[in-house]
Amino acid sequence: MKRYFIAGNWKMYKTVPEAVSLASELKARLSDCGEKLMIAPPFTALQAVAGVIKGTNILLGAQNMGPEESGAHTGEVSVLMLKDLGVSVVILGHSERRHTYGESDALINIKVRLALKHKLEVILCVGETLEEREQGVLEKVIRRQLSEGLKGVEPSALTDVTVAYEPVWAIGTGKTATPEDADAVHEFCRKVIAELYGQNAAKQLLIQYGGSVKPDNVAALMAKQNIDGALVGGASLKADTFVPIAKFR
């Protein structure tokens, strides 16, 4: 049976006590959930949340990382520091990093390769803006983000990569892609991966959907053939919304 990958991105929310409290509630309420689970608190709460979820079925994720192992990089957090705290997954190329902080495909690619080198799993986010969709360049954008983002990634390392398709216009807006629209883009992602890595790798790749996933739309999205999980923002901030998403079936 298909096992879904349900991930929560807490973004710039939650103080340490708030994060501990949410993680504790998730730990209790998701202990019987059979899906692959991850939560990504802000950097400041990683250590405390690590203590709560250690040894459980919930993986610790980070929302970003610096492009170097160490050095004079004011304000950045290194892959080694993340590993030191028990982080096992890192979200890279989130649209907020791309669009608000100007991260390029080339920079994201450096981070992807560095994370994989240190055996962190990567969630590589891709997605078009509304303008790009309306201009008919959706496929061009997705193809570029995937091929540039994965440049130099060995086929053997691809098993540590999950792709998250997050249409920018659906993030935090309450607008979700219809399951059919999302599935079509997921299918296209798989086609690009097949061109880059072969059919087998493309078949095995997990592709999450992200963008206003909620308890009432998750099941219809997950029912689609090419959708293998969800990257959840707003609805991951409360156990009462994240638990039903993780337990959608």
Residues at the site binding ligand PGA, with contacts judged by CB under 6 A: 9, 166, 171-172, 210-213, 231-235
Q: Rounded to the nearest whole angstrom, what is the least distance from the CB of residue 94 to ligand PGA in the complex? A: 6
Closer to ligand PGA by Cβ: residue 182 or 197: 182
Distance of CA 240 to the CA centre of its chain: 21
Q: Which residues pair with 208 in a beta bridge?
A: 164, 229
Question: Would you give the end-to-end CA distance of the chain in angstroms?
Answer: 12
CA gyration radius, the chain: 17
User: With 0-12 CB in 10 A as exposed, 13-18 as middle and 19+ as buried, what is 98?
Assistant: buried
At its nearest, how many Å lie between ligand PGA and the CB of residue 124?
12
Catalytic residue among 103, 132, 166, 186: 166
Whole-number Å distance between alpha carbons of 93 and 210: 13
CB of 152 to ligand PGA, least distance (A): 25
DSSP letter at 211? Answer: S
Catalytic hit among 35, 94, 96, 186 = 94
Would you say 227 or 231 has its CB closer to ligand PGA? Answer: 231
Q: Which residue is at the shortest CB distance from ligand PGA?
A: 233
Nearer to ligand PGA, 5 or 197 (CB): 5
Helix (H) or strand (E) holding 186: helix 179-197
Shortest Å, Cβ 166 to ligand PGA: 6
Active site residue 166: yes
Q: Per the structure block, which two tokens stand in for 149?
A: 């983002």
Angle (nearest 5°) at CA 182 between 179 and 186: 130
Nearer to ligand PGA, 197 or 208 (CB): 208
Contact 212, 175 (CB under 8 A): yes
Q: Which is nearer to ligand PGA, 197 or 235 (CB)?
A: 235
99 in active site: no
Least Å distance, CB 174 to ligand PGA, is 8
Quote the tokens at residue 172. 């935090």
SS3 sequence of 133-153? HHCCCHHHHHHHHHHHHCCCC
- Catalytic residues, by residue number, are 94, 166
